[in-house]
């Protein structure tokens, strides 16, 4: 049953990925929802695998106690409350860990079924339509900020703003092109791009103290992506094949279990 509990959620998750990558347009998924899908894929093992390990430990301890070989938890192991506390502690840690994982993903946005080259063409247009500007450092880092003339306030040096938040958080050294510019406004966000061409996938990682810029950019980006028609994505076929294989293994396993049960009853 542990095997089935592992296969079924993973098959459902693969089916969801196949559907996302088969959509007619690119699909934006918030980071917490993306992480929730991963938790769904691992839910069988997390919900049943951990308790099964605790049951195995309890049985091993009881066998060792009968043979007089217990050296660990010699007195605690005799208490039913001790083992029940382990179960409760496991599920508390599981819930807290899942919540923490979801919280850590709040700064990320995943875009499925998008060619990174197409995204590189669309994103600058989105920033320009919002009357914002961007500075690029390398291939992955973008700095997006409001134009100073639109806000009617005096621009500040990016050195203080960038070094005071992004660099202090241990991200990376200050890009030279950012140090030299005086055009950057106080309202800014840093955006890291992780592209996966083989899967037609792009991940956005946002940093900064002005989430309003992120909301505006992502809203406009969603509108732009809705107008893009995607071609056949091979990742959809890959995930669909994985889902079909997992469902097939699950069905065959169930049929085998039923057959063995029927044979046992006939005897």
Mean pLDDT computed over 24-41: 92
107-136 tens-digit pLDDT: 999 999 998 888 988 998 898 888 887 777
**Count of structural domains within the chain:** 2
Domain span at residue 252 reads 2-107+235-266
| pLDDT higher than 70, residue 145 | yes
Q: Both 218 and 250 in a single domain?
A: no
Q: Both 151 and 198 in a single domain?
A: yes
Q: Both 97 and 173 in a single domain?
A: no
Q: Which residues contact 150 (CB under 8 A, 6 or more apart)?
A: 131
CA pair distance 202, 187, nearest whole angstrom: 25
Q: Return the higher-pLDDT residue of 68 and 154.
A: 68
β-pairing verdict for 108-112 and 201-208 = antiparallel
Q: Return the higher-pLDDT residue of 165 and 239.
A: 239
> Would you say residue 114 lies in a domain?
no
Q: What integer best gives the mean pLDDT of the chain?
A: 79
Q: 196-227: b or e for each residue (b if 16 or more CB lie within 10 Å)?
A: eeebbbbbbbbbbebeebbebbbebbbebbee
Q: Both 257 and 196 in a single domain?
A: no
The pLDDT, as a whole number, for residue 79 is 67
Q: Both 41 and 96 in a single domain?
A: yes
The pLDDT, as a whole number, for residue 99 is 95
Q: Return the higher-pLDDT residue of 181 and 63.
A: 63
Q: Both 74 and 136 in a single domain?
A: no
209-264 tens-digit pLDDT: 677 888 889 999 999 999 888 877 888 889 999 999 999 988 888 888 888 888 88
**Cβ atoms within 10 Å of 168's Cβ, excluding its own:** 9
Is 173 exposed, middle or buried (CB count within 10 Å of its CB: 0-12, 13-18, 19+)? exposed
pTM over 0.85: no
């Amino acid at each position: 049953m542990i095997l089935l509990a592992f296969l079924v959620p993973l098959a459902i998750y693969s089916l969801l990925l196949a559907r996302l990558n088969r959509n007619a347009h690119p699909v934006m998924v918030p980071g917490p929802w993306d992480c929730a899908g991963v938790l769904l894929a691992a839910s069988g093992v997390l919900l049943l695998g951990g308790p099964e390990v605790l049951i195995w430990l309890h049985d091993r301890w009881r066998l060792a106690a009968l043979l007089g070989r217990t050296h660990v938890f010699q007195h605690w192991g005799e208490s039913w409350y001790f083992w029940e506390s382990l179960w409760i502690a496991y599920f508390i840690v599981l819930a807290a860990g899942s919540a923490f994982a979801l919280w850590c993903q709040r700064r990320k946005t995943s875009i499925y079924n998008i060619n990174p080259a197409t995204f590189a063409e669309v994103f600058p247009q989105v920033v320009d339509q919002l009357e914002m500007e961007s500075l690029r450092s390398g291939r992955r880092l973008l700095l997006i900020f409001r134009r100073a003339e639109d806000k009617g306030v005096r621009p500040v040096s990016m050195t203080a703003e960038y070094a005071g938040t992004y660099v202090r958080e241990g991200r990376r050294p200050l890009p030279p092109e950012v140090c030299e510019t005086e055009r950057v406004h106080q309202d800014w966000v840093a955006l890291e791009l992780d592209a996966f061409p083989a899967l037609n996938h792009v991940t956005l990682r946002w940093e900064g103290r002005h989430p309003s810029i992120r909301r505006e950019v992502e809203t406009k980006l969603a509108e732009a992506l809705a107008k893009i028609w995607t071609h056949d994505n091979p990742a959809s076929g890959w995930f669909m094949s994985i889902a079909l294989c997992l469902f097939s293994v699950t069905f065959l396993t169930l049929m085998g279990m039923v057959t063995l049960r029927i044979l046992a009853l006939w005897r």
